[in-house]
A and B are shown apart, each in its own frame.
Chain A
Amino acid sequence: MSNSLWASGALALTLLTPNLGVAATDADLAEIRDQIRQLKESYEARIQALEQRLKEAEARTAPAPPATAAAPPAPQPPAPVAPVAAGATGIAVFNPAVSAVLQGTYHNFSQDPNQYALSGFAPSGDIAPGKRGFSLGESELALSANVDDKFYGNLIVSLTPENTLSVEEAYGLYTGAGNGLAPKFGRFYSGLGYLNDQHQHAWDFVDAPLVYQAFLGGQYDVDGVQLKWLAPTDEFLEFGGELGSGEGFPGTSRNKNGVGSGIVYVHTGGDIGTSNSWRAGLSYLQTRAQNRDYAQTDIHGNDAQVGFSGSSKLAVADFVWKYAPNGNAQDTNFKLQAEYFWRRERGDFTYDRDGSLGFMNTSNYGARQSGFYVQGVYQFMPAWRVGARYDYLIPGTVDYGSNSAYLVNPSFHPQRSTVMVDWTPSEFSRFRLQYAQARLREGVTDNEFFLQYILTLGAHGAHKY
């Protein structure tokens, strides 16, 4: 430190004396040398004095002596505090926060999980509850950090038990916008509904509610842009909009320029006293499908290949209420959560797309379907929670047009009742036992037992409300 100060002093001197090199006599040089020596001595003395003062200040902030002496007479600008942890050196100090989630389950199903289906609904995506017996769940790897002064980046990849890798989220967030604006871009879970943007390991049950399976194929991931705006009010009021590729169910890939899906939502919430908090929201998704093909049994019992092309509109109302005595959720707390989904689809419907039944017919199609779930989770003592959930799907009205000669919408309402108990020894580990009685197809009752573990390691994550 004293060296660099001394050097800069000398440099300043050099700059301030431009005639130095022009006509320097020996006497001049001696004089300059003398001045420099004096300057050096004076700086060193001042630096020593400063170091002494620093030592004294450090001694005063140490906890041992009384602080009465420590308080300076007037506010001083905050002293810089060494922020870099000792030992962290080199390029590694800028490593992003890394965390991993390990999961696994033991399943016991009374019905064949390969036959899993929701009567009257034909979502694509992976909605089946997994295989019987022991199985590894999805392992998740997350990296996040500030990119620079303007952006924050987050990558979450999921390693499936089948040894494939999928990118769950990979987005950038523009942090410098201000005014309550938070623009996000890349791949992210949509802010639609309540549960959609939470990762599966943060759910209160092993599997997703039936409405998420039936209407979103599990969870709605957007490849696109998101803009949220938080109103400048003391009450929480947030507006959001998303534009995406629209490839995820209920849309399909359409090989088209422009925007494939649009989502808007509004969220509001707040506290009631110190013990209650809540959030409610309304969301709307509009997208299109082209040749969304699936197998459906026709009225003659044939396995027909059918396809839908047209518009799909989904509205979601969500509500969550949390209770914790005095706001302290550590000992006991209660959470009530419900979401209602409505969907309207209109377009063309093709019966026997692959022509295997020797006949192909395209007609108008219109469907209005809905469903909901409601669940409550009660922590009755530290680390222990119990929960119950009820799922219900309404196949609604489906107009097959001229295809009604071959197809009929079932009147059966899929439903499921679930109970769970989980043990959370620390913030980083959870073990869960879950039982569900699922009547998803007419005349078929599945008794499902799940045993699950969730382990989190690495950086301390923060859970969404």
Chain B
Amino acid sequence: MRSHLQWLGAALLAAWVGPACAALSVFATVPEWGALAEELGGDKVRIYTATNALQDPHHVEAKPSLIARARGADLVVATGAELEIGWLPLVLQQAGNPKVAPGKPGYFEAAAFVTLLDKPTRLDRAEGDIHAAGDPHIQTDPRNFARVAAPLSARLAELDPENAAWYQSRYKAFSERWNAAIANWEKQAAPLKGTPIVVQHKAFTYLIAWIGLKEVATLEPKPGVEPTTTHLSEVLATLQRTPAKMVLRAAYQSDRASQWIAERTKIAAVTLPFTVGGDDGARDLYGLFDDTIGRLLKGAQ
């Protein structure tokens, strides 16, 4: 009987300690940070991505599966800037894991390391679904990954000091390859500079700033408010005065509004992957921008 109890105790202890001894467990709120953690951590990190590219990141539910995964996480990598405000606080509160509470080393917000654009001048819900800190969709500019990668790599090393050298060498390799890729994408995207475009949701602020596109109109009357026929007619009138080359939407959004505009103005409706996994081409971070630039070039023809 006693030996049974000992075995049981040992088994329970193993179950308790086991997962913690393995790889560093990373809970990424959106696919892009999961992909970046993968680049920086390789097989030293175990990544769980809470949402997929076809999910509207503004409207995520605090599902049981998310709570269970946050319970065992060593590091939560979030975008911040209120993107996850509707679900992450609840998930973290229910997970009973103070390691990953905001302010602790186990909680990382990418937006803190990027200069946010489009900070609203008027904080009022009458302006729609606005984010007080600025536009949180920072993953549409590859330079932002370079900015986030350094502190994220440092955070991985802080939480897993045994493998600090590994994270540093992964970071170095990523940084070199990524910067070369950025230079290449910038070369490819050069002809797109100044191209007038329409966006469905204000989701591409950073992409537009990076490539130098010109945003002529937005299909949503206010951020996060579904396009109305009245507003679409106004957009149509705007486009007759200042024509655009294409209308952009993120893969997770319904195509109704952009198709409506595309049919009437005979411009291309371009669906961008928006994040890793948004389409077949965007398998990883490199694929995300290869595919994005490719689709933009095709749409601009």
Contacts and interface: CB of A to CB of B under 8 A. Distances in A.
A328 B55 contact: yes
A359 interface: no
Contact of A428 (B63, B125, B171): B125
A141 B225 CA distance: 26
A228 to B, nearest CB: 7
B189 to A, nearest CB: 12
Given A232-B16, A326-B54, A269 B65 contact: yes
A236 B65 contact: yes
Interface residues of B, number: 74
B179 A71 contact: yes
B61 A465 contact: yes
Contacts of B19: 232
Given A61-B147, A460-B85, A327 B54 contact: yes
Contacts, number: 187
A72 interface: yes
Nearest to B84: A462
Contacts of A382: 226, 254
Most buried by A among B15, B65, B90, B114: B65
Q: Is the interface of A mostly helix, strand, loop or mixed?
A: loop
Most buried by B among A78, A279, A383, A426: A78
B143 to A, nearest CB: 3
Nearest to B50: A327
A133 interface: no
A81 B143 CA distance: 19
A329 B206 contact: no
A358 interface: no
A330 B155 contact: no
A374 B89 CA distance: 30
Given A75-B150, A75-B154, A236-B64, A330 B112 contact: no
A180 B61 contact: no
A237 interface: yes
Contact of A68 (B56, B128, B183, B224): B183
B154 A269 contact: no
A176 interface: yes
B180 to A, nearest CB: 9
B120 interface: no
A200 interface: no
Nearest to B53: A326
Interface string B50-62: 0110111001011
B275 to A, nearest CB: 13
A237 B68 contact: yes
B62 A465 contact: yes
Contacts of B61: 277, 322, 329, 463, 465
A181 interface: yes
A175 B104 CA distance: 13
B89 A462 contact: yes
A81 B56 CA distance: 28
A178 B68 contact: no
Contacts of A255: none
B90 A464 contact: yes
A66 interface: yes
A277 B65 contact: yes
Contacts of A331: 254
Contacts of B153: 75
B69 A67 contact: no
A268 B72 CA distance: 16
Contacts of B297: none
Contact of A234 (B69, B98, B99, B252): B69
Interface in A238-283: 238, 267-271, 274, 277-279
A74 B171 contact: yes
B118 to A, nearest CB: 11
A20 interface: no
Contacts of A279: 64
A230 B167 contact: no
Contacts of A152: 93
A186 B95 CA distance: 20
Given A81-B113, A178-B96, A427 B86 contact: yes
B179 A268 contact: no
Contacts of B55: 326-328
B23 interface: no
A229 B94 CA distance: 9
A370 B237 CA distance: 62
Contacts of B149: 71
A463 B86 contact: yes
Contacts of A463: 61-62, 86, 90
A75 B93 contact: no
Contacts of A457: 125
Given A75-B150, A79-B151, 12 more contacts: A75-B154, A78-B154, A177-B96, A230-B94, A230-B95, A234-B69, A238-B67, A326-B52, A326-B54, A330-B252, A462-B86, A463-B90
**Which 6 residue pairs are nearest across A and B when measured between Cβ atoms?**
A67-B143, A269-B64, A236-B64, A78-B151, A326-B54, A462-B90
14 contacts: A67-B182, A68-B183, A71-B175, A78-B155, A79-B113, A177-B96, A177-B98, A180-B95, A236-B64, A274-B54, A426-B125, A462-B62, A462-B90, A463-B90
Interface of A: 61-63, 66-68, 70-79, 81, 85, 152, 173, 175-182, 228-230, 232-238, 267-271, 274, 277-279, 322, 326-331, 382-383, 425-428, 457, 460, 462-465
